Structure 1
Amino acid sequence: MVSTYLSYDLVSRDMQASLKRVSNQNIVARDAEYYKTNIGKVTSVDDFMDDYRLYSYAMTAFGLGDMAYAKAFMRKVLESDLTDENSFANKLTDDRYREFASAFNFSSDEKTAQSSTQVDAMVDLYNQTMVSEGDAVTTETNYFNAMMKEVGSVDEMLGNDRLRGYLLKSFDVDERYYSRSLVAGALSSDTGDSQSYINQTLGPQRETLNTQVTDARTRLAAATTEADKNKINTEIAGYQAQLSSIQKYYDIADAFEFQSDGRSPADGAQTNDQKTAINSLYLSRQDRVSTASAVSEDNYFKSKMATLTNVEQLTADTRLYNYVTTAFNLTGITVVRSTVEQILTSDLSDPNSYVNRFSGSHPEYMALAKAFSFGTDGTVEAGSAQTTQQAALTSSNYFSRYNDVQDAADEKAATLYRTAISDIDSVDEFLTKQDVYQFALKAVGIDPDEVSSYTISRVLKSDLDDPNSFVYTLKDDRYLTLAKAFNFTRDGNVTTPLTAQSQGTITAIASDYTVKMARFLEDDARDKARADAKVETAYYSQKMLSIQSASDFINDDRLVNVLLTAYDVDPTKVSKDFLKQIFASDLNDPKSFVNQQADVWGEILGTFNFDAKGKLSDVNDQGAQSLGKIYETQNKYDRQTLEQQQGEENNGVRLALYFERMSKSITSAYDILGDTALLEFFRVSFQLPDSFSNLDVDKQAELVKKYLTLTDLQDPDMVSKMISKFTVMYDLENSSASTSALSILTGAGSGGSISADLLTSLAQNR
């Protein structure tokens, strides 16, 4: 009879080859092919359990074959939320159930327009875009001012996209529909010259419209019914709108000094006053207050303060009034112009003055009053409205508060977005929720007023894996960013977020990593290891949801360390170049790099949603399972089959193979005591009587620790020695199942002799 050690050694010395032989067996191969072909068709737990061939295959793979009958119990396992510590699977003491649940996607990922990570990213992008827009305003203003010193002609200015854009924005002319010849003619015109282009072209229209307005007002005065009055008022409004449109071109003409032939005069195309005026116009057209806008308002305030002689001049000028109320935080609806006038004309030495009566509840009133030097009659000498110190304080206050209202509005918009996006179930719904729609478009830098909802709908329904889909035809990264930010299908419904790994996989890896890091530690050392692991797994769990490519993952050492440790791979022995080759492999190609490595690498790669180019893709998402989990299930099934088949010949070999497989997951003596097979391995190894199991469980645990150094389980060489010892002890105890060790040693019985492998085993375990 062949000894247990030799039988085990023949199988384990090249485990990959042994498993390959098993997987090539006809029945095993057919079952594996059926599983791989059909698991992707499963859309629910019911589908899975109703196909008994699939269900039993997976149950066997995870060592749960004897529980296949308990479908109600297993349903609760599969539907468990592994991110919830109190979920059914997580509360079971047997880790096989958690591992089984983590192999499937029945409950881990929720269909949603955006995951919490995507929502956070959208809000961050919105904030970044708003800052960028402010910076862009400053950049464009500086560019315009610098370039206008060099511009030699109207054609040169209009031929420069940035200068032309700045000009048209300043005068509120839509660049999509403007007439180049009309703008060029206006720029070359002198509005005081009746023969200039603008007066010859637009002058007659303006005169006609003014005549029509005068005539309409005359008719309005004579109208007797409300219907007639309303009709005439609408008519007048139409004429005035046309006049306003014409006036834009007169304003453009007055903003420059180009000659009638379109050339710039020797001293430049603009005077300093003209440049300042167009800068102010451009800044006033912006939706947001930028730093450049704040600087412009500050300069305007300082220039005007040098000329003020009474308080009414300040409150009557909207720009001055807004500057002051912003600087002193008086932007509430209860503050009106008269309030500011009463504050600025209060006698601070009079306890009954307006400021002294109300500053207790409104300290900002006193701060404003002290910042100016108006008399109680509201007058002041020109240039004396503020001292140098008062002016500096006012300016400082303004710059610290000019965007407070804007920031508050942004924060409110973000809060509304976070709340509303969770209720979005389709692209159509997204298009109708204006708060959500506008926030998202602004976040990626798209003006909601300059794009149709139909275009946005087609963008969001684009298939990002299809290079010919609509979003790619636009050749605009803003639209691609928008499409990637949401989880909509081609028919416009929500789906699960596409992340580098599924939530279930991420959770399982985090759990396995924590177990590995705290393994065999006790008390304070264990608590510290778990606390440190919690930090790393929190990082992994959060970061993996935003990883966009294989290179992003490979270059993050913390992520790689957690992943490899969870899979019992030493991170220090894996290079970045090796990982790059793994992630560049095609799992479906048997000749690819990953398929030439140990099975664990195929399992690892298959859990990632990257294509062979390292880009985020659902290529490995097979629905109920990722491709990696399918491979893991098949590998586990092959291993279970190998152990079962070996056990039919020699149960000692099956126990040895089982111990070898489970040794990596043992964390305490109680893991051994709670597993019948591991307990038998231990009992036989140390020749303990069957009555050992009758002892108090804590006594049993003490004996396990006494005889077995648990930390040795981390060393493959020590595990190998433990197995060698077991095989010898197993043969000694089971003489009926193999040649008696005693008869081998004495040569008695049926002429047996000592095998070379048994002598080797004995020598190793003296």
Structure 2
Amino acid sequence: MISTYLSYNLVARDMKAAMNLTAQQSQVSREAAYFKDNIGNIKSAEEFVDDYRLYSYAMKAHGLEEMTYAKAFMLKVLESDLSDSNSYANKLTDKRYREFAAAFQFSSNSVSVMSESQMDEAIGLYEGHFKSLDDEIAEDSAYYKAMLTSVGSVDAFLSNARLYDYMLDTYGFDADTVDKSYLRALLTSDTSDPASFYNTEIVANRDAASATIDGNNPILTAIATRQNVVGERDYIVQLQTAISDAQTRIADAQAAMSDPGADTAALQIEIDDQTATMHLRYADFVEMSLYAMQEDKAAMIAAGEGDSAAALALDDKITAWTADFDARWAIVTSIQNIANLTATMNEPGADVVALQAEIDGECAAIVASQDSLVATDADVSDAIAAKDAEIASYDGTLPPPGEETAALRAELYAAASKASSYIGSTDKFVTLVEAYNFNPDGTVPAEGFQTEEQLAKTTERYIFSQERTTKTGALLNDQYFRDKINTFTTVDELMADARIVEILKDAFNLSTSLSVVSSTLANAMTTPSTDADLEDPNNYLVRFHSGRDYYDDLVALSRAFNFKEDGTLDEGVLPLDTSKLDMVSSRYFSGYDDQYEEDDALAIKRLKLDLTALSSSGSNIDDLFQSTGAYNFVLKAVGLDGEAVPQRIMRKVLTSDLQDPKSFVYSLKDDRYVQFAKLFNFDSEGNFAAPRVAQDEATIQDLAKDYIVQKSRFLEGDEAKRVKKEAEDEARYYTDAVSDLSNVGELLANRRVLDFAITAKGMNPRNFSDEMLKRAFSSDLDDPRSFANEYGDYRLAELVASFNFGPDGNVSRNGAGGVSTRSTVETMNMFLRQTIEEEQGFENEGVRLALYFERMAPTITSAYDILSDTALYAFFKTTFQMPSEISGMDVDKQAALVEKYLNLEDLADPEKLSKLVQRFTAMNDLQTNDSASLANVLFGNGSGGVSSETLLTLSQLRLR
């Protein structure tokens, strides 16, 4: 029989995987899809309870399945005003009803900003815009070439709007900010004349900037290097202090062992604990030293001294210190094993003789391991001295570590950054000057203002300056690939060419896979990939990419190239055979626009999402201007540039009366504006939706409440009051800060706000780096493979869903009457958890209780929470073997009993919570298995009864 703990652990150790597996069940999948697809269409509580599939799904998810029949009752709950403490839902003692009502708030005030037919027309225009882009590029380039010798002067060139715009687009200038006279001075500069405008204004300043960088960087490097050494020195000092402290405690405990009445057992535990601590800190020191040794060895090898006497001696030292590291961890492991075996000896029925034999074996292992110890206190002191000497070596070169150095670093870094920024910002001026041949007097040479080579480079740059690669661009890329690919001799040379890498990604359908990076391609091209090779589970392609949607394409890439596993080629072998070259070319033309097709699909999806958000009552034209998913999509669809057209103009366009030929939109004499206005439905005041907020009020209130609970749970008296007040102050800050957010960038820049939300969700902010949060908030929650959805804790996706950021990162709007994304995601996750617990309960009710307790533990704030929940109380009574009769005791006495046996603060500690659940599972198996089955396991060959996993679990518990 499988033990309760094993069954529980199979699920709990990777709850996200269990949820994903459950979500794939046909019934669960169908109901989830139905819920996700239809919940947004519900606009009232009546509609909700009338749709039994949606309603019953939500009821089960929120643990209210037994009340599904009570529609009238639940309707009153759903229609409660949650801001009113006396409302029906708020007055119910079971908080699940209020949480259910909070998740499903409805309103019937919806409007239609854009009809289905208007949306279809906008999408058609959008797609047509990109289909005609290649023709527009060809036409513009043909005109530019035709004017090569027709323009008589630089002034004529700059005054020709079409030529001028072509140049600006090609070389990356902004027409709104660039100074035309400045460009004229550059275009007419003689680069061979030191006194020319270009040489005095651009080259001289770039040279000065380069000198600043060259002068500052060595000092900045030295500062950083010394700071690293200081950090290493301080770390070793900390280790030395910890080792010395442990040695002192060991000596004190050993001396106290001979004192009259000494508690030798407790003293031995102290000795063992401090011995383990000492070896762990020594292991840290040895590990750090080994890293340094390996670096020294690598330097010797690079210098050609790998076989020198010094290198061989270093090898011997590395071997000895590696053995020291392993030995210290072996000692620590043996000490832990002895502690566990000693605890087991005190349990009823323990085989003392066998356990003592195991303890003796561990003791012998410790003695044996001590022979491999080589690192000493003197080594630690020498390491500190060496670091101090290295730090001192910078004296005279750098100011002392501290404020003076920090100020110097800031000054040098600011200067170097400014210089680097200047060089970067003027690169385009250098490129521009090199691209044109106007005479210093502004006239044009007989052959034109550009040579054939310059013209070719300019037109190619123009083609690739567009927002996406067109067919013409693809042809240029293909020719570049054919000319370049077989000039490489190693895979590293190939990977250094970013253009080639992008072409390969497009050719092998890898550009849309976020998990495929350049190193993925390099590894694939150097991995054997015959059918026989792919039978090997350790093959790179199989081990890391098998089962992914791009696996076959990655294998095709691998098979196309001739690189060996070391990234080189055999003599006379090219990277690509002729037949494979044609195959890659064909694949490229089939796949170069796949990313754009995906982008268009996403853009259309964003349009629809934004329109849903903008269809709520109370919003207006200003909200549309901020909603780029819809506004810019339609601007682009009709051929308008949102950056070039002022919103004040678009406001008048959108509020024009299209039935009045004298209205503002017709006065512009441009059909694009009329077309834009026709795609939206506004009244003369321009009102149509609600204001934009990063989080709705209900979500903010819920998070604030949960944060206060998380911070003040288990506290009492004055401390509880103080912490609660601090939490309330923090909640007020959060409310104000979130209300001011306008985009996800501002949220990510405010760690205080993020930490508040993470804490409120019951997670530890320290587990989430800034980069992790950036990836989470960049995730597409509709994509099951996105970072937020694949993260091990499903609460991260719920946190992301609680914010109303659109695909562009700006605050979006939820449609009136609809359920929020947060509620949808949370409900679907809750349904999966309920389903998992229910299914596990069919096989073993103990597993269901364990999973339920683990889920509810973060919400428990007092013993009364346990007493008021039958399942939680059952868990407690089983864990601590409490008789069922205690339920008849006075409630306060029961609460005291809970607090006596269960330290509620342990519920906030994942490790202690895990041990508590482990104890429950062991006690549950003992309680549910009969004595005959137990005897079979303990003394016979039977397969029933308490499993070996249970016995192992019991052996690891220290029952209080």
TM-score by length of 2: 0.41
Task: Report what 1:501 is aligned to.
Answer: 695
- Equivalent residue number for residue 56 of structure 1: 56
The offset of 1:496, in angstroms, is 3.2
1:136 — aligned with what? none
Distance in 1, matches of 2:816 and 2:14, equals: 31
Q: Is the 8 A contact 2:106 2:818 kept in 1?
A: yes
Q: 1:544 to 1:489 in 2, by over 3 A?
A: farther
| Distance in structure 2 (CA, Å) of the matches to 1:654 and 1:665 | 18
User: TM-score, normalised to structure 1's length?
Assistant: 0.51
2:740 aligned counterpart, secondary structure:
coil
- The 5 A counterparts of 1:97-116 are 97-106=97-106
Answer yes or no: is 1:22 the counterpart of 2:217. no
State the 1:523 CA deviation.
1.6
Counterpart in the other structure of 1:634: 828
What is the deviation of 1:593? 2.4
Q: Residues 107 and 458 of structure 1: is their aligned pair in 2 closer, same or farther, counting only changes over 3 Å?
A: closer
Counterpart of 1:71, as a letter, is K
2:78 and 2:775 map into 1 onto residues whose CA distance is: 34
Partner AA of 1:523 in structure 2? G
1:623-647 CA distance string (max 9 Å, x none): 5322232121111101100100110
Q: Which amino acid aligns with 1:38?
A: N
Q: 2:948 aligns with which of 752, 756, 761?
A: 756
1:388 is matched with which residue?
A: none
Aligned to 2:764: 570
The structure 2 residue matched to 1:535, chosen from 707, 713, 729, is 729
Q: Which residue of 1 aligns with 2:146?
A: none
CA contact (8 A) 1:109 1:496 kept: no
Q: Deviations over 1:171-203 (max 9, x none)?
A: xxxxxxxxxxxxxxxxxxxxxxxxxxxxxxxxx
Cα distance in 2 for residues equivalent to 1:588 and 1:426: 27
User: How far off its partner does 1:28 sit?
Assistant: 0.5
Instruction: Provide closer, same or farther for how the CA distance between residues 714 and 622 of structure 1 changes in structure 2, counting only shifts above 3 A.
Output: farther
Secondary structure of the 2:858 match is coil
The answer on whether the counterparts of 1:62 and 1:637 sit within 8 Å (CA) in structure 2 is yes
Change in Cα spacing, 1:531 to 1:458, as seen in structure 2 (3 Å) is: closer
Residues 109, 689 of structure 1: alpha-carbon distance in 2 compared, 3 angstrom cutoff = farther
**CA 1:641–1:460 in structure 2 vs 1: closer, same or farther (change >3 Å)?**
closer
In the alignment, the residues of structure 1 paired with residue 810 and residue 33 of structure 2 have an alpha-carbon distance, to the nearest angstrom, of 28
Distance in 2 between residues matched to 1:36 and 1:758, nearest whole Å: 41
Does the 8 Å CA contact 2:863/2:895 hold for their aligned counterparts? yes
AA partner of residue 68 (structure 2): A
Deviation of the 1:101 alpha carbon: 2.1
Kept after mapping to 2: 8 A contact 1:108/1:503:
no
- What is the CA distance between 1:35 and its match in structure 2? 0.4
CA distance in 1, matches of 2:652, 2:78: 34
Q: Deviations over 1:495-528 (max 9, x none)?
A: 3332111111111111111111111011211112
What is the identity, as a one-letter code, of the residue corresponding to 1:764?
Answer: Q
Contact 1:728 1:762 in 2 (8 A): yes
Aligned to 1:745: 938
- 2:803 aligned residue: 608
For residue 806 of structure 2, give the secondary structure of its aligned residue in structure 1: coil
In the TM superposition, what are the counterparts of 1:348-497 in structure 2 within 5 Å? 464=627, 465-467=630-632, 468=634, 472=642, 475-476=645-646, 490=682, 494-497=688-691
- Give 1 or 2: higher helix fraction: 2
In structure 2, C-alpha distance between the alignment counterparts of 1:635 and 1:661, rounded to whole Å:
12
User: Does the CA-based 8 Å contact 2:57-2:831 persist in structure 1?
Assistant: yes
1:459 Cα shift? 6.6
Amino acid at match of 1:6: L
Q: Deviation per CA, 1:450-481: give whole Å up to 9, x if none.
A: xxxxxxx9778778432135995883366799
- Residue by residue, what CA displacement relative to the aligned partner does 1:131-157 show, whole Å, maximum 9, x if unpaired? xxxxxxxxxxxxxxxxxxxxxxxxxxx
- Aligned residue for 1:568, secondary structure, equals coil
Q: Which among 704, 718, 722 is matched to residue 510 of structure 1?
A: 704
Contact 2:704–2:731, Cα closer than 8 Å, also in 1: yes
Contact 2:933/2:946 (8 A) holds in 1: no
2:41 matched residue in structure 1: 41
- Summarize the Cα distance change of 1:107–1:680 in structure 2 as closer, same or farther, 3 Å threshold: farther
Question: What is aligned with 1:553?
Answer: 747
| Partner residue in 1 for 2:2 | 2
- Return the offset for 1:100: 1.6
Q: Percent identity?
A: 46
Match of 1:68? 68
CA shift for structure 1 position 705: 0.2
How far does residue 613 in structure 1 lie from its aligned partner after superposition? 2.9
1-structure distance, mates of 2:789, 2:840:
26
Letter in 1 for 2:882: L
What's the CA shift for 1:98? 2.5
Could you tell me which of 674, 692, 696 is aligned with 2:868?
Answer: 674
1:726 and 1:510 map into 2 onto residues whose CA distance is 33
Which amino acid is 2:938 matched to?
L
Letter in 2 for 1:633: T
Question: Is the 8 Å Cα contact of residues 585 and 612 (structure 1) preserved in structure 2?
Answer: no
Partner-residue secondary structure (3-state), 2:739: coil
CA distance in structure 2 between the aligned counterparts of 1:521 and 1:57, rounded to whole angstroms? 37
Return closer, same or farther for 1:741/1:607 CA change in 2, 3 Å cut-off: same
**Deviation, structure 1 residue 482:** 12
Q: CA RMSD in A?
A: 3.4
Shift of 1:658: 0.6
The equivalent residue for 1:375 is none
2:15 is matched by which residue type in structure 1? Answer: M
Structure 1 residues 73 and 538, CA gap change in structure 2 (3 angstroms) = farther
Give 1:585 deviation, angstroms.
Answer: 1.8
Residue type matched to 2:52 in 1? Y
SS at 2:808 equivalent:
coil
2:895 corresponds to 1:701: yes
CA distance in 2, matches of 1:726, 1:459: 58
Letter in 2 for 1:762: L
Separation in structure 1 between the aligned mates of residue 741 and residue 895 of structure 2, nearest angstrom: 44
Kindly indicate whether residue 821 of structure 2 is the aligned counterpart of residue 656 of structure 1. no
Counterpart CA distance in 2 for 1:525 and 1:108 is: 46
Distance 1:756 1:577 in 2: 43
Contact 1:460 1:482 in 2 (8 A): no
Unaligned runs of 5+ in 1: 112-424, 428-456
- Deviation of the 1:720 alpha carbon: 1.0
Cα distance in 2 between the residues matched to 1:722 and 1:527:
29
The whole-number CA distance in structure 2 between the counterparts of 1:685 and 1:541 is 41
Alignment of 1:159-308 (within 5 A): none
Measure how far apart 1:590 and its partner are.
2.9
Quote the Cα distance in structure 2 between the aligned partners of 1:526 and 1:640.
33
The CA distance in 1 between the partners of 2:940 and 2:55, in whole Å, is: 51
Matches within 5 A, 1:565-604: 565-597=759-791, 598-604=793-799
Kindly indicate whether the alpha-carbon contact (under 8 Å) linking 1:7 and 1:653 is maintained by their aligned counterparts in 2: yes
Return the offset for 1:611: 2.2
Distance 2:109 2:94 in 1: 24
Decide whether aligned partners of structure 1 residues 651 and 98 sit closer, same or farther in structure 2, where only a CA change above 3 A counts.
same
Q: Deviations over 1:576-634 (max 9, x none)?
A: 2221111122122233322221322221112221123311223x769532223212111
> Structure 1 pair 508/480, CA: closer, same or farther in 2 (3 Å)?
farther
Check 1:689–1:512 CA distance in 2 against 1; reply closer, same or farther (3 A cut).
Answer: same
> What SS class does the counterpart of residue 742 from structure 2 fall into?
coil
Deviates more, 1:526-535 or 1:587-596: 587-596
Contact 1:103 1:505 in 2 (8 A): no
